[in-house]
Chain A
Amino acid sequence: MSDQNAEMTFIAKVFVCCGICALVVVGALAKADPVGNERQSSYELMSADTKAMQDDPLLNPANFAVLDGRALWQEATGTNKIACAACHGEAKVSMKGVAASFPKLSTSRTGGRSLLNLGGRINQCRTEHQGAAPLALESKPLLSLSAFVSTQSKGMPITVERHASNAAHLEAGERLFNLRLGQLNLSCAQCHAERPGQKLAGNLIPQAHPTAYPIYRLEWQSVGSLERRLRNCLTGVRAEPFAFGSKELLELELFLAWRARGMPLESPGVRP
């Protein structure tokens, strides 16, 4: 609510002050999107202190979300009074590698196939199997469950691949990544594919690989999803951000995960 407003204002200011100048100055140095081993997690851009905070479970504030998620995993809920653990058992075994495969197409009970991220898939399980109401997107319980499930894939490579079934979504995501948006008329690619490693205001521009979500962002003072982060960038370029759970954000998430395929997951990450 108000904290997101504050973020928007702050980021908008940063972009207005420095974004245009920076891009104009370095415009001539634009290069192609890094691929393969040239790709780098934004972990590498962090200070030693912030790296240590992510690496040590006893310092990582996102670990509280993981612990909350573990408690929710074992809690019977919904009209069917079953816990996640009742079907899936030990998350360490059953959820290993699961988060690394999202977003993906999932078939609902009614037979419809839709693109879901991990949070969406958790909510599908809640409504279809537990008989519970879906958790609000970006709410603490959903982020906690996502963090708990994601951390079971820590260190495993992202396994999102291009299939006939997801190709249309992937292409839509790629189009969005390259689409100029907002009053500043900037695309994701102009910063994150063509100019990573250069500076935007005082900060190094990361390559924008979603390897650590959900993250504890020090600026947010809380855990947040990739969608929240994408909405930050959208307000930064003064575009109207897509809604949480919207088709556009999901397709962008899918493209970013595919672009980062093979890179190891770090969840739950800490970012400045």
Chain B
Amino acid sequence: MGKTSRTLVTMPASAKKGDIIEIRIIVQHDMESGFRHTETGQRVPRDIIRDFLCTYNDIEVFRVELHPGMGANPMIIFTTVATESGTLEFKWTGDDGYASSTTSQLLVT
């Protein structure tokens, strides 16, 4: 088992077909940049989330590459079009075997 952490997703539970829905996701992560040093001069190794992927009924709808300049607990807000009822899956992967995922259901009427 690699490292994982808490995630929070905010999105509507239902939408009309064709509606644009807003999805807000936040993930718990220190996003250690790899550029900092300890008091004794040791470099703190980089430990960040590298990739975020959202799939909607197994089709990729949104992807983000994350870099060392990003702050802790990155929050991403994006939109997608409600096409059909189903599952949205959110996946984060990163350094040191980090992986988190969660799913949300969307009912399209």
Contacts and interface: CB of A to CB of B under 8 A. Distances in A.
B47 to A, nearest CB: 13
B73 A5 contact: no
A60 B36 CA distance: 25
A49 to B, nearest CB: 11
Nearest to B71: A221
A244 interface: no
A67 B6 contact: yes
B10 to A, nearest CB: 5
B44 interface: yes
Contacts of B5: 64
Interface string B21-62: 000101010110000111100001000000000000000000
B72 A2 contact: no
A1 B39 contact: yes
A68 B4 CA distance: 13
B72 A59 contact: no
Contacts of A61: 26, 28, 72-73, 75
B80 to A, nearest CB: 18
Contacts of A218: 71
B: interface residue count bin? 10 to 19
Contacts, number: 38
A64 B6 CA distance: 7
Question: Per DSSP, are chain B's interface residues mostly helix, strand or loop, or mixed?
Answer: loop
A63 B6 CA distance: 10
Nearest to A62: B73
Interface in A203-219: 218
Interface in B57-96: 71-73, 75
Contacts of B8: 58, 63
Interface residues of A, number: 15
Interface string A1-18: 111011000000000000
B71 A2 contact: no
Contacts of A5: 39
Given A1-B38, A2-B38, A3-B36, A59 B73 contact: no
A75 to B, nearest CB: 15
Task: Tell me which of B30, B39, B72 has the highest count of chain A C-beta atoms within 10 A of its own C-beta.
Answer: B72
A58 B24 contact: yes
Contacts of A68: 6
B36 A64 contact: no
Contacts of B39: 1-2, 5
Contacts of B73: 61, 64, 221
Contacts of B28: 61, 64
B6 A58 contact: no
Contacts of A3: 36
Nearest to A6: B36
A63 B10 CA distance: 14
A79 interface: no
Given A63-B8, A64-B6, A64-B73, 4 more contacts: A2-B37, A2-B44, A59-B26, A221-B30
13 contacts: A1-B38, A2-B37, A3-B36, A58-B26, A59-B24, A59-B26, A61-B26, A61-B28, A63-B8, A64-B6, A68-B6, A221-B31, A221-B71
